[in-house]
Amino acid sequence: MIWVEEVESLPRPGLESIQLKRLQLQVQRVYETVAPYRSKMDAAGVKPADIRSLADLKYLPYNTKDDLRDNYPFGLFTVPMEEVIRVHASSGTTGQPTVVGYTEADIKLWASVMSRALAMAGVTRGDMVHNAYGYGLFTGGLGAHYGIEALGATVIPVSGGNSKRQITIMRDFGSSVLLSTPSYALNLAEAMADVGVSPEELKLRVGIHGAEPWSESMREEVERKLGIKAVDIYGLSEIIGPGVAMECLHTDRGMHILEDHFLPEIVDPDTLEPLPYGEVGELVFTTLTKEAFPLIRYRTKDISRLIAEPCACGRTLVRMEKVMGRTDDMLIIRGVNVFPSQLEHVLVGIEGVEPHYQLEVNREGNLDTMSVLVEVSEHIFSDEIRVLEGLTKRIQSDVKDILGVTCKVKLVEPRSITRSEGKAQRVIDNRKL
């Protein structure tokens, strides 16, 4: 097990001393090598020498995905391209793709933080790790792969797709750890049922799931259907990929942030003022040690809060609460803020409802309408009309009571909602806003 105890259990003053030295070097570096950073800092009236404490971080300008797109593809790199040994990119489904680069030192750093993250979930050298994250330009597969190897565990680089074959591989190879999105973990559970393989026939012990928001109710569903301990991992390609933060086996305590490399803040998404520990707001990261593509005060759009109290595992690293949603995924329905994860929490708590749904928002005249497509179990779908009507009213009532919005509900048969091998598409917003 890799546990950098001298850092992960360090009292706060010692850790903050490391953070400050690395922050000062990073700010100086980007100011000298990246013209867009220098222009932003000059416009804000701040120089690298002005960063004398961590509290001075607030004087540095923010960066967003728009900055990455505006400087597409390599305009924010701090090293010449001959020093960049790998690039990754987002899918570009919401606009211009964002491109990130890595030097040889960055790849080693990524493997190191990912191996430390895996260790938090109890993964050891003896584990057979089934890596079902997507390989390619997406950072998930390769980021996890290098971390597994750095830990000394055995990696099965299966990626996504062909779920029934994956079940055979897990059974025959003795996979003990599963890495996948939570929605794909449920797809695998369905494939197990299809081929008649029970959780008891597999050696799976723990699942490490991320890349999309998921509720505590969905965690319970994954654990029940796969017979595993399901833990949350956090990362984003702009910061490094997977391995930014990870739950330890005390999964009710939040995800430990690898703070010696990634400096977190929580800010008010409207005023952009920094918020204290415990307050809910937008998560912002500054990379402290990355070479090719460092980011200063990057707004992630993820909604969370930071928890400062030491964890029962002994780590003193600050923790982030499970992401509650995103500021750009947030739907405003007739003045009410709605996150898809809130809807999921409502649905999974209702007996007979499967953990697969799709939310559709339309505008009729000047009013927004919300419809929810919900899969129900086989025995419910084939039941009497009055039973289906009762379930429909129950869902509508619970959504109204908990989310404060009225919705239309359509119950559909099992497996009729399109499955994804990666992130599930939960929301279809047809409004022209």
Same domain for 104 and 229, yes or no, is: yes
pTM of this prediction? Answer: 0.85
Is the same domain home to 322 and 339? no
- The answer on 198 and 94 residing in a single domain is yes
Task: Copy the structure tokens of residue 362.
Answer: 């339309």
Q: What is the CATH number of the domain that holds 307?
A: 3.40.50.12780
Tokens of 417: 């909602």
Residue 91 has pLDDT above 90, yes or no: no
Residue 432: predicted pLDDT: 65
Cα diameter, the chain: 72
pLDDT surpasses 60 at 316: yes
- Residue 150, classed as helix, strand or coil, is helix
pLDDT at 273: 97
Instruction: Please state whether 71 falls in left (phi above 0), alpha (psi between -120 and 50) or beta.
Output: alpha
Mean pLDDT along residues 223-251: 95
Of the ranges 47-61, 338-352, 362-376, 394-408, which is most confident? 47-61
Q: How far is CA 257 from the centre of its chain?
A: 13
Q: Is residue 94's pLDDT more than 50?
A: no
- Band (pLDDT 50/70/90 cuts) for residue 355 is confident
The answer on 297 and 184 residing in a single domain is yes
178 and 273 fall within a common domain: yes
Residues 51 and 177 in one domain: yes
Q: Residue 179's beta-bridge partner residues?
A: 131, 208
Please tell me the total number of residues recorded for the chain in this structure: 433
Using one digit for the tens of pLDDT, what is the confidence trace for 119-162? 999 999 999 999 999 999 999 999 999 999 999 999 999 999 89
Q: Using CA atoms, how far apart are residues 106 and 111, in angstroms rounded to an integer?
A: 9
Q: In terms of domains, do 298 and 402 share one?
A: no
Q: Which domain holds residue 358?
A: 333-429
Q: Are residues 63 and 188 in the same domain?
A: yes
Residues 205-220: what's their mean pLDDT?
A: 89
Same domain, 58 and 197: yes
Token output for 324? 């509650």
Q: Tell me the pLDDT band of 216, cut-offs 50, 70 and 90.
A: confident
E strands of 149-240, at which residues? 154-156, 177-180, 206-209, 229-236
Q: How many domains does the chain have?
A: 2
Confidence at 3, pLDDT banded by 50, 70, 90: low
Same-domain pairing of 338 and 321:
no
Q: Identify the domain boundary among 328, 354, 386.
A: 328
224-232: long-range contacts (C-beta < 8 A, 24 or more apart)?
Answer: 225/186, 225/189, 225/192, 225/199, 226/178, 226/185, 226/188, 226/189, 226/192, 226/199, 227/199, 227/200, 227/202, 228/178, 228/199, 228/204, 229/205, 230/182, 230/185, 230/206, 231/121, 231/206, 231/207, 232/322
Query: What share of the chain has pLDDT > 70, as a percent?
Result: 97
Residue finishing a domain among 328, 348, 365: 328
Mean pLDDT in residue range 103-109: 98
Domain end, chosen from 294, 328, 362, is at 328
For the ranges 81-95, 206-220, 413-427, the one whose mean pLDDT is highest: 206-220
Mean pLDDT for the stretch of residues 282-300: 98
Residues 128 and 185 grouped into a single domain: yes
Q: How confident is the model at residue 95 (pLDDT cuts 50, 70, 90)?
A: low
Looking at the fold, whether 350 and 301 belong to one and the same domain comes out as: no
